[in-house]
Structure 1
Amino acid sequence: MWHGMPLKKILNDDTNSGGESANSDFRRKTAHILRKLFPWKIFLAQKKLFTVANSEFFVPFLKTAFNLPDEKILRTGSPRCDALFAHRKEPLLEKIRGQVPESKIILYMPTFRTAEWTGDVFNPFDEKYGFDLDEFLATLERQKSVLVYKPHFSDLRFIKTVSQKSSASRLITVNDSDYDELYNFAGQVDMLMTDYSSIYFDFIVTKKPVVLLPFDYDFYIKYARGHYFNYFENMEGAKAKNWQEFYRILDEGKYYPVSEKTRKTFAEYLDGKGCERLWSKITEAAK
């Protein structure tokens, strides 16, 4: 199933994780040991191994990453994305909408990072990215918005958030125990903020606005993970390189859903029927 369509290079294609950082030798040696303990090549050589694609666009990357022939890439869409269409009640969202009526709920999900990979902890709420708590909260108040911050679980232990210092009603940090099902939750927020996360390729099927925050783009692609394609040319959506630019995007209403062309490019098979199509493919393969 994997865990998302790739912007970042994965598995066989990921040759530069760690880049030129001080920890890169350690990172490569660790990766070598892990491959010995959990050998991808043996796993990937399984005759019955298949993977799924959300669109034809990702097929070439999945073929090289998993070392699979074209017929082993199932054009079904990711089953988890069916939950984006479920609209089951999420208690946390119900609570937020009750406490802050008529507010726009913005979900902020930065991509996977760890201090071991980059030699530095990524904290999006750092002053070097133009963050000021008072200005941040004032902007959310002015725009009648609530920001729900969902760090990647691997990075949560490294991150000291600012929500405890705030009024809490406008900036909320959540973890996996705070909601019932992440994609059901994501499907019901009003806007997504992310940077390089694969959730972008899934969320766009909701036809809701996406804002991209590549705060540390140059550092990330150099020291953490290379990309399969040009980020700024291919990732449609309002982009902010710091919080000041994000404030302007909110204040000027310059956020928007991606075009139908982009949606079809990245999410061709996402329509709430991924489980149904995949089950059909599995039963065919089992005959």
Structure 2
Amino acid sequence: MNIIAKIKKNGLVWLFNTLMNKVIIKCNTVVYYVCRLIPINDKKIIFESEGDLSDNSFALYEYMLQHNYLGEYKVIWAVNNLKEAKLNNYPYTKFVNRFDNILDIKRSFHLATAKYFVYDHYNLMWYLKKRKEQIILNLWHGVGYKAIKNGNDTTNIKTQFDYFDSLSDDISLEFLKEFLNCSPQKGVVLGYPRLDYFFKTNLTARKYIKKIAGNTKVLLWMPTFRQSINPELSEEYADSETGLPIVYTSKDIEELNNYLHKKEVTLILKMHHLQAELNVFKKKYTNIKFISDEELRDNNIQLYQFVAETDALITDYSSIAIDYLLLDKPIIFTLDDYDDYKKSRGFYKDNIKELMPGYHIYNYDEFIKAISEVSSEKDLYSEERYKVLPMYHKFRDGNSSRRVLEFLNIER
């Protein structure tokens, strides 16, 4: 589509915003290259995460905070909301804008002079040429079951990462080197810092779950994002009233809630925020509760601290299932759209079901049976999890943050 056609389709406001973005990126770029004249600060680290102060990057940062690395090192956090991030009052920590289309001279200065850049979602250096002394580590955010579509396009990237973090030197490394479209030599098997939360009791998360669920069994349901108000964000699923697998209507939700109440089980459903806007989820249920990233953040709880305190997981093709293996707790896989999904999106391996150690559920009756067995503390798939676990996880010790820092030669 040529520029005239784009203007006709999107309007003059789009044209103005596009031009301004280009100008701002160019200004940030100029400042960055000027700041390259300043010596590298060997004690400066930049962090980035999707969702401010979260995921693998924040878990690593929090480890540094708790083990007295800060003070010796200066941290720069790239965030979406500067005002809100500053309210945390973290010591020896400054904040800059996360995106390159916002004019931020300090951001360019820190990018040019930091020894380390650690990220798990967005590469702030993609349009810049890094300095030889700098080290960029991509912690990433999960290894999944879904097929890889051509890998990441690196055509216009001036600076890729130096290393990417992997959970194992088996499937995890194989998957990520293809997904990230890079040499396997860039892979370092250190484990994800966020998985360290699985090996530590978090009283705040435990109290929060107790407040939600009382003394009932807690099942966490984290489905792949499906139906949406915005079709561009949806996977290719058949529309349903709920946008969920297995329970398609408000009547199904009511029936499920009644069953959960009878079995003294609380189902905590974490959905995409757009899906949560559907009318069916605006109703209050006794034994089905909904949580969001915002609620967890407001209660000072990281997602994986919350996940660690649940009794079982319900999901489909999400990478959360692979992470959950470390907890050695039951997993229920909802696969009612498996054949359609295989034809449309596809899976990473042909034998993908063999890498899903848990219940394989295709209809509502099977779903209820699985919930019944799990709530009765039956664990029928323990041996299968034990076989699959080492393919995805080399370490099961809660020391990933320490390994990452040792790899980077960051010392107290």
Q: TM-score, normalised by structure 2?
A: 0.55
Unaligned runs of 5+ in 1: 15-38
Report the CA distance between 1:175 and its aligned residue: 0.9
Q: Aligned partners of 1:71 and 1:141: how far apart in 2? A: 51
Query: 1:102: which partner in 2?
Result: 215
Find the partner of 1:222 among 343, 350, 357.
343
The letter for the 2-side match of 1:94 is: K
What SS class does the counterpart of residue 40 from structure 1 fall into? coil
Checking the alignment, whether the CA contact within 8 Å between 2:190 and 2:400 is kept in structure 1 is yes
Query: 1:182: which partner in 2?
Result: 303
Compare 272-281 and 250-259 and name the one that shifted more: 250-259
Query: 1:160: which partner in 2?
Result: 278
Query: 1:197: which partner in 2?
Result: 318
CA gap 1:281/1:228 in 2 versus in 1, 3 angstroms: farther
Query: 1:88: which partner in 2?
Result: 202
Q: Aligned partners of 2:402 and 2:222: how far apart in 1? A: 28
Q: Aligned partners of 1:188 and 1:161: how far apart in 2? A: 29
Query: 2:145: which partner in 1?
Result: 7
Q: Aligned partners of 2:367 and 2:246: how far apart in 1? A: 14
Report the CA distance between 1:245 and its aligned residue: 1.0
Query: 2:263: which partner in 1?
Result: 143
Deviation track 1:208-245 (CA, whole Å, cap 9, x = no partner) reads 11111123222223334543342322211012112221
The letter for the 2-side match of 1:2 is: W
The letter for the 1-side match of 2:257 is: L
Q: Aligned partners of 1:96 and 1:184: how far apart in 2? A: 11
Matched-pair identity in %:
27
Q: Aligned partners of 1:101 and 1:158: how far apart in 2? A: 23
Q: Which has the higher contact order (CA 8 A, sep 6+)?
A: 1
Query: 1:267: which partner in 2?
Result: 393
Checking the alignment, whether the CA contact within 8 Å between 1:105 and 1:191 is kept in structure 2 is yes
Query: 1:247: which partner in 2?
Result: 368
Report the CA distance between 1:249 and its aligned residue: 1.4
CA gap 1:216/1:207 in 2 versus in 1, 3 angstroms: same
Q: Aligned partners of 2:265 and 2:370: how far apart in 1? A: 13
The count of aligned residue pairs is 255
Deviation track 1:30-72 (CA, whole Å, cap 9, x = no partner) reads xxxxxxxxx53343863x5221111222222222222322221
- Within 5 A, what are the aligned runs for 1:23-102? 40-43=154-157, 46=160, 48-55=161-168, 56-90=170-204, 93-98=206-211, 100-102=213-215
RMSD: 2.9
Checking the alignment, whether the CA contact within 8 Å between 1:4 and 1:198 is kept in structure 2 is yes
CA gap 1:186/1:229 in 2 versus in 1, 3 angstroms: farther
Q: TM-score, normalised by structure 1?
A: 0.76
Query: 1:118: which partner in 2?
Result: 236
Unaligned runs of 5+ in 2: 1-138
Report the CA distance between 1:7 and its aligned residue: 1.5
Q: Aligned partners of 1:104 and 1:255: how far apart in 2? A: 14
Deviation track 1:163-215 (CA, whole Å, cap 9, x = no partner) reads 4434x331011110121200000011111110000011111111111111123
What SS class does the counterpart of residue 394 from structure 2 fall into? coil
Checking the alignment, whether the CA contact within 8 Å between 1:125 and 1:161 is kept in structure 2 is no
